[in-house]
Structure 1
Amino acid sequence: MADTSHSASNALDWEGTYKGIVPCADCEGIQTTITLNKNLTYVLTTVYLGKENDAESELNGKFFWNADGLKIVLEGIENAPNQYFVGENKLFQLDMKGNRITGNLAKNYQLQKVNQL
């Protein structure tokens, strides 16, 4: 059983807005902004840089913590990454299976906290 007495969900100030530009296979990068609210809702805004009119989209939904309280899962997202490891003032985008991205580009999958709600 996982020890949930000390986890990101209860030990970190995770509520707030996170921003970063993550790699994109067919564009210059995906400008990503995620706002996590205390009531377990989120707003995800993405801008595909270098695409016609820098295609922007916004998604609102709920998220939940995994069993050990270290990762969040954004509901309502299919066929795209929807899991993030929650660190101190950072979100780390995980791969489609929920694993940390490794290798030379790993640091490019981080979103920095820009404000506290």
Structure 2
Amino acid sequence: MKRTILIAAAALALAACGSSTRKKAASADRAATETRSPDMHTAETSLDYKGTYTGTFPAADCPGIEMTLRLRDDGKYDLHMKYIDRRTEFDEQGTYTVEDNLLTLRPSDGDEPDYYKVEENRLRLLDAARQPITGELAAHYILTKQND
């Protein structure tokens, strides 16, 4: 009887060791696969950034500038700027690129490019050094995506 119990215990121990080894091997295979597949999520590949964005940017000599930016499917953009409480409006066209989370607007008239950080359903204006605008008005330099 003791012999039967010892054989049964040994069989259970061997089965448990084999199961553990298989689990460790499967876990190692998963880890190796995950290590080989780097996360390639960027605004260009993950976010639906094309569309129309609106917002009101601060202005020095009026209550603000109503901004409407349309990023088209063909890599071109249209920007409409309307100064509040004035009869002043401007339109700008050009091309855009998105690399990582950086949107670059290149006006067709040759002016300096503008830079935005692409975020979930919004664009944040960056300065010429491609850094977020800071200070009291920083939250006002954001364009929000509209449902087209």
TM-score of the pair, normalised by structure 1: 0.83
Please give the secondary structure, in 2, of the residue aligned with 1:102: coil
Q: Which residue number corresponds to residue 107 of structure 1? A: 139
Closer/same/farther in 2, CA of residues 41 and 30 from structure 1, 3 Å limit = same
Q: Which residue number corresponds to residue 61 of structure 1? A: 94
Consecutive unaligned residues of structure 1, counting only runs of 5 or more, are none
Partners of 2:43 and 2:98 within 8 A in 1: no
| d(CA) in 2 for partners of 1:4, 1:82 | 28
Q: Higher RCO, 1 or 2 (CA under 8 Å, sep at least 6)? A: 1
Identity of aligned residues (%): 36
Q: 1:97 aligns with which of 129, 132, 143?
A: 129
- Are positions 1:72 and 2:103 aligned together? yes
- The offset of 1:78, in angstroms, is 2.6
Please give the secondary structure, in 2, of the residue aligned with 1:9: helix
- The offset of 1:95, in angstroms, is 1.4
| d(CA) in 2 for partners of 1:48, 1:82 | 19
Q: Which residue number corresponds to residue 37 of structure 1? A: 72
Task: List structure 1 segments (4+ residues) > 6 angstroms apart after TM superposition.
Answer: none
- The offset of 1:21, in angstroms, is 0.2
Closer/same/farther in 2, CA of residues 87 and 46 from structure 1, 3 Å limit = same
| d(CA) in 2 for partners of 1:115, 1:84 | 20
More helix by share: 2
Larger radius of gyration: 2
Q: Which residue number corresponds to residue 8 of structure 1? A: 43
More strand by share: 1
Please give the secondary structure, in 1, of the residue aligned with 2:146: strand
Amino acid at match of 1:62: T
Aligned residues: 109
| d(CA) in 1 for partners of 2:53, 2:124 | 10
Amino acid at match of 1:35: R
- Bigger Cα displacement from structure 2, 33-42 vs 12-21: 33-42
- The offset of 1:4, in angstroms, is 8.0
Q: Which residue number corresponds to residue 58 of structure 2? A: 23
Partners of 1:61 and 1:74 within 8 A in 2: yes
